Amino acid sequence: MVRPYSVKGRKRKKREENYDKEDIEQIGEEETMDAIRKEEIEDAPDEEKEAENLPELAGIPIQPYDQKTQSGAIFILEKASLEVAKVGKNYQLLNSDDHANFLRRNNKNPADYRPDIAHQAILAILDSPLNKAGRLRALYVKTEKGVLFEVKPHVRIPRTYKRFSGIILQLLQKLSITAVGKSEKLLRVIKNPVTQYLPVISRKIGFSFSSEKLVDIRDYIAAVSDDVNFVFVVCLKAT
């Protein structure tokens, strides 16, 4: 039986015609994209002018914060309940909810183990307008066991307690947490005392519920010269 060669030739012609149509369509799409790009380039200066005319946010500097020329604030969180222990086969960050029975068996009060307080305090400081304005110079945390570590102002602490406890567990075991793909240490355990890391020109302020004299913090800061750094000491003891 003879093969229908003529039919095969027709298919090739049809395929070639289809390829030509596809090429024409692709060329048309490219011309359309070029026209869109030209319109975007022409409109770009107007958008830049509008961006320049936008009002600046009051109280937030546009330029990066320079610690050498501007004063700032330093926070020291004292007596943070961040203690690691071996529970079963794994090391865990002790807390009153998950390890109440373990703590009672070891003659410890579960109410004293509240790492969530340190978690919320760190988040509040890093999320504060002070830090967003670039005026937070440093954040130090000292545990009840006397371990002192530094938290960089630009670090992003996890919002959930479970992830936070994993990071603190890693920090207390490996002594530092580095950024992904970088050598910068975002959290690191440092030597005591904390006073050796404080600036020379600074004023230390402690917070206490038992103080006999109450002072409005805004009035107090406003009365101090601009070249003075403030060091705020906060106790995180649960009870």
CATH number of the domain enclosing 174: 3.40.1280.10
Q: Who contacts 53 (Cβ-Cβ below 8 Å, separation ≥6)?
A: none
Q: Is residue 197 part of a domain?
A: yes
Q: Is residue 189 part of a domain?
A: yes
Q: Are 169 and 93 within 8 A, CB to CB?
A: yes
The percent of residues above 90 in pLDDT, for the chain, comes to 51
The percent of residues above 70 in pLDDT, for the chain, comes to 70
Q: Is residue 123 part of a domain?
A: yes
Q: Is residue 4 part of a domain?
A: no
Domain housing 118: 73-235
Question: Is pLDDT above 50 for 40?
Answer: no
Q: Is residue 225 part of a domain?
A: yes
Tell me the C-alpha to C-alpha distance, in Å, between residue 202 and each of 53, 150, 191, 222, 229. 38, 18, 20, 15, 4
Q: Is residue 46 part of a domain?
A: no
Q: Is residue 102 part of a domain?
A: yes
Q: Is residue 193 part of a domain?
A: yes
Q: Are 153 and 125 within 8 A, CB to CB?
A: no
Count the neighbouring beta carbons within 10 Å of the beta carbon of residue 157.
17
Average predicted confidence (pLDDT) for the chain: 78
Asked if residue 193 has a cis previous peptide bond (ω within 30° of 0), the answer is yes
Confidence of residue 216 (pLDDT cuts 50, 70, 90): confident
Could you report the per-residue pLDDT of 57-94, keeping only the tens digit for each? Answer: 333 333 344 445 467 899 999 999 999 999 988 999 99
Residue with the bigger pLDDT between 232 and 215: it is 232
Mean pLDDT for 104-119 is: 93
d(CA 192, CA 148): 7
pLDDT at 165: 94
**Closest among 74, 100, 99 to 233, alpha carbons compared:** 74
pTM: 0.69
pLDDT at 21: 47
Q: Are 115 and 95 within 8 A, CB to CB?
A: yes
Question: Is pLDDT above 60 for 41?
Answer: no
Query: For the chain, where are the E strands, in sequence order?
Result: 73-80, 84-87, 90-93, 136-143, 148-151, 176-178, 185-190, 202-206, 229-235
Q: How many domains does one find in the chain?
A: 1
